[in-house]
Structure 1
Amino acid sequence: MGGVRESGEHNTALEAVILEAGCSHAALARRVNELGRCQGVVSRYDKASVTRWLQGMTPRNRAPEFIAAALGEWLGRPVTPVDFGFPAQPQRPVAARALIYREDVGETLHTLAELGSTDVSRRTLLGTVPFVATALMEPQRQWLLWLVEEEQTPRLAAVAGGGLAARVRAMIDMFDEMDNKYGGGGVRASIIHYLSTQLTPMLQQRSQSPHQRRLLFTSAAKLAAMAGWCSYDSADYGLAQRYMIQGLRLCAEGGDRVLGGQILAGLSHLATSLGSPSEGVSLARAGVATAKTAGSPLGLMRLHAMAARGHAALGDSRRATASLRLASAALDTSNGPDEESPWVRFLDHHYLEAEAAQVHRDLGEATQAERLATASVKANGDRRRRQAISRSVLATALLQQDRLDEAVGTASQALDLLGDVHSERSVQALRDFRTRLAPLRMEPMVRDFERKARPLLGTAA
């Protein structure tokens, strides 16, 4: 949990922000613990901890970041630890700029180049880069404004082409294959290096034809989104958010609505997984509005699935079920991957099964979750990350049915799959299962699983 530093003065700024937010001390402590747990940080703060903060104590490590995130949720706007009297955290200005969706695409390119080069070459200079849920509102608003103002006839964006654009696409395909096999952590640095030192400088030079520039902007947006997913897989959640936001802006420059919807799906997934499902639903809805005009049923399917994930995390069974029905209906209208944008050809009914399994798990509908997770496990034999996630979901569904032996055995299989796959998403799914094991920790098989899982999952809360 980390200690505290005492200033000796009552923190009137924090007192004022808590009063404005209208939250109790116990509720604030609870939310700080929840946000930390979502990012692999164990803390046990309570209302007495908040009282100590008000008396002048500053919690160490990442706690000020989580306090800011929690208060920002209640206030409906971003706040920083400095806003409520905590010392400024060391952070390069680019980390703040990368949260902004800028109208000037030249500034976006500059920000992305600096963020990438600092990330790869001088990572320690970035310091802690927090995930800021309230910073997601403005990018989706700006994207929707662009969507309304766009005068082109709805169509799939052009993603084919020869020359330089074709070479960049070949690099994207190579990175994508490595990501699927080994997880995002193993390929993250290569993607970011290529994006920030090769592709971004090409776009800054303005030496290509308008058509080539559109294709290159779209490719840069795809790589930025991939950098975001890979950062997610490396537990760099704040960086994941920043790469995806910058990718969304590049996507507008390329005019690719399908890819824009998929980036919004990624941001929705990130927000819901990190304890902000209301933002997750909002982002998914913005993506649905985008996909409806993009001519991509598969892309629309994924966005409805993300909305279902958010609703399920909020405990809203009616809306979650309705979103799953819409996802299934969108899938049924697709004419197959050959008629879809390359950005969504990986999506199919197996993808929807896996996402639906997590929805039913979160709603406590164990029988449905078991059936869908089992199907996903069988369908994804060559995709270790998806295998691990689906086995973790299956383990939880079995546990929800009081089938402890099967649940622990299935979770152990998921753990074995992660030996050479760097995927925080898979780790998160296993942590979720382990948290649900807490009431049974005195069982010998549970203790054995905890010992086996500790090197990968860390110490249980």
Structure 2
Amino acid sequence: MSADEGSGQANTALASAIEEAGCTHAALARRVNELGRCQGVVSRYDRASVTRWIQGMTPRGRAPEFIAAALAGYLRRPVTPAGLGFAVQAQRPVAARALAYREDVSETLHTLAELGSTDISRRSLLGAVPFVAAALLDPQRQWLLWLLEEEQVPRLEAVAGAGPVEEVRAMIGMFDEMDNRFGGGGVRASVVHYLSAQVAPMLRQQGMPASQRRQLFTAAAKLAAMAGWSSYDSADYGLAQRYMIQGLRLCAEGGDRVLGGQILAGLSHLATSLGSPDEGAALARAGIATAKRAGSPLGMMRLHAMAARAFAARGDSHQATACLHSATAALEASHGAAQESVWVRFLDHHYLEAEAALVHRDLGEAVQSERLADASVHANADRRRRQAISRSVLATAYLQQQRLDEAIGTATQALDLLGGIHSERSVQALRDFRTRLAPRRTEPIVREFERKARPVLGAAA
């Protein structure tokens, strides 16, 4: 990370926020480093760094964003870099608008069209697009208000013959296949372009039958969610958040609660993975409320699994275990993928095994994590992204049991898999393993692994 710059004046706003938060300088510095590491930014701030910031030094790069996010977590309210006295470049208008859940869906379509166009053809105009945990509260609230106002779950009528809905669904299927084979990073530009340049304008046309229009909004919501996941896989976390928020608004227009719950699951995953498990848990619970009466046990299974991930990241073993039990019960209640919504048919017991392995990893329950991660590795031989993630989790389970040779061997296999996919989620899982190697970095086998991993994972913190 670049060196800090001095303004010559004490930062009283930052000092007041730290005092109100009641955190030590060392604790704040650690949290800033953790949040940066979650987004692939290596920093080594310490309590002296915090003292310098208070004295007027401004950290460069994305550090003000991470400082604001850290203090927001302590204070339980939104905090911005500007509110902490840091001079930051103003967000581009579309990047700011895309964080909002608009009542007028035409504004959503306009935002998606502009965001997608700027993202693909004029990317430099977007500048840095940060993930903003505090911005997740309003979309969640707006969605739940919509949910309360609905008198019943809308039943979408079938559309006979060919038409725009059938075409869009076919494209979704193709994008899904490419995503599963090569990771979201490889398909991201195609998804964003198709959504913003073709589907969004299609939804602004007049004269479409109401039932077809609702289904097209739902398909567009799925595409926006895919744009979010593929941006996540490209390490574009701020864009991932914005596409998912806009997808949630489109989903309300289509009236599909199953898909709405899945988009909330995606936002929960994103928040938890980026160091905001409180928001992750809240989003998962909103998703559970959404899908409760939607007749989708598999959708409920995934949402309970996301809640378990969030609680495990918080170190809450009791809640995490309870959520895993609920996920298992939901899975057992399903009558099979063919009886479920098309949006959740990819979910099965292997998916739950993989997510449960991550929960047990974060809770330090290595034996359970090993069993489930190993099962996931064998079940996902043809899905390289899931294979890479599960091998990284399995490596961590071995490490937690002091089986270093097995841990390094398994992590090396995960590293080899990363060469064929474009998936930041897979990279994150292996970075988590590497971080846990820190106490043993002097050992030759660890030094050799770090040498091999550096071109893919970047420098270690």
Structure 2-normalised TM-score? Answer: 0.97
Structure 2 residue identity aligned to 1:372: L
Partner of 1:64: 64
Structural RMSD (CA): 1.3
Tell whether the 8 Å contact from 2:231 to 2:239 is kept in structure 1 after alignment: yes
Q: CA deviation at 1:155?
A: 6.6
Q: CA deviation at 1:138?
A: 1.2
User: Is 2:393 the counterpart of 1:393?
Assistant: yes
* Alpha-carbon distance between aligned partners in 1 of 2:359 and 2:435, rounded to the nearest angstrom: 17
Distance verdict in 2 for CA 1:210–1:155, change over 3 Å: closer
* Alpha-carbon distance between aligned partners in 2 of 1:433 and 1:271, rounded to the nearest angstrom: 20
Runs of 4+ in 1 over 6 A off after TM superposition: none
Q: CA deviation at 1:190?
A: 0.5
Alignment of 1:259-408 (within 5 A): 259-408=259-408
Partner of 1:203: 203
Q: CA deviation at 1:310?
A: 0.7
**What secondary structure sits across from 2:402 in the alignment?**
coil
Partner of 2:417: 417
* Alpha-carbon distance between aligned partners in 2 of 1:102 and 1:75, rounded to the nearest angstrom: 27
* Alpha-carbon distance between aligned partners in 2 of 1:350 and 1:30, rounded to the nearest angstrom: 35
Q: CA deviation at 1:204?
A: 1.7
Give 5+ residue unaligned stretches, structure 1.
Answer: none
Distance verdict in 2 for CA 1:417–1:134, change over 3 Å: same
Q: CA deviation at 1:395?
A: 0.5
* Alpha-carbon distance between aligned partners in 2 of 1:205 and 1:220, rounded to the nearest angstrom: 14
Alignment of 1:20-419 (within 5 A): 20-152=20-152, 154=153, 157=156, 162-419=162-419
* Alpha-carbon distance between aligned partners in 2 of 1:194 and 1:74, rounded to the nearest angstrom: 40
* Alpha-carbon distance between aligned partners in 2 of 1:303 and 1:182, rounded to the nearest angstrom: 25
Q: CA deviation at 1:180?
A: 0.5
Tell whether the 8 Å contact from 1:298 to 1:331 is kept in structure 2 after alignment: yes
Tell whether the 8 Å contact from 1:98 to 1:242 is kept in structure 2 after alignment: yes
* Alpha-carbon distance between aligned partners in 2 of 1:181 and 1:293, rounded to the nearest angstrom: 33
Q: CA deviation at 1:157?
A: 5.0
Q: CA deviation at 1:135?
A: 1.0
Distance verdict in 2 for CA 1:97–1:76, change over 3 Å: farther
Structure 2 residue identity aligned to 1:125: L
Tell whether the 8 Å contact from 1:155 to 1:293 is kept in structure 2 after alignment: no
**What secondary structure sits across from 2:428 in the alignment?**
helix
Structure 1-normalised TM-score? Answer: 0.97
Distance verdict in 2 for CA 1:145–1:451, change over 3 Å: same
Structure 2 residue identity aligned to 1:12: T
Q: Between the two proteins, what is the percent identity of the paired residues?
A: 77
Tell whether the 8 Å contact from 1:357 to 1:369 is kept in structure 2 after alignment: yes
Tell whether the 8 Å contact from 1:77 to 1:135 is kept in structure 2 after alignment: no
Structure 1 residue identity aligned to 2:430: L
Structure 2 residue identity aligned to 1:149: E
Structure 1 residue identity aligned to 2:310: G
Mean Cα deviation higher: 45-54 or 272-281: 45-54
Tell whether the 8 Å contact from 1:278 to 1:310 is kept in structure 2 after alignment: yes
**What secondary structure sits across from 2:293 in the alignment?**
coil
Query: How many residues matched?
Result: 460
Q: CA deviation at 1:207?
A: 3.4
Can you list the C-alpha shifts for 1:280-313, whole angstroms capped at 9, x where unaligned? 1111011111111111000000000001111111
Structure 1 residue identity aligned to 2:283: L
Can you list the C-alpha shifts for 1:338-366, whole angstroms capped at 9, x where unaligned? 11000000000000000011111111111
Tell whether the 8 Å contact from 1:156 to 1:294 is kept in structure 2 after alignment: no
Structure 1 residue identity aligned to 2:284: A
Q: CA deviation at 1:17?
A: 2.6
**What secondary structure sits across from 2:5 in the alignment?**
strand
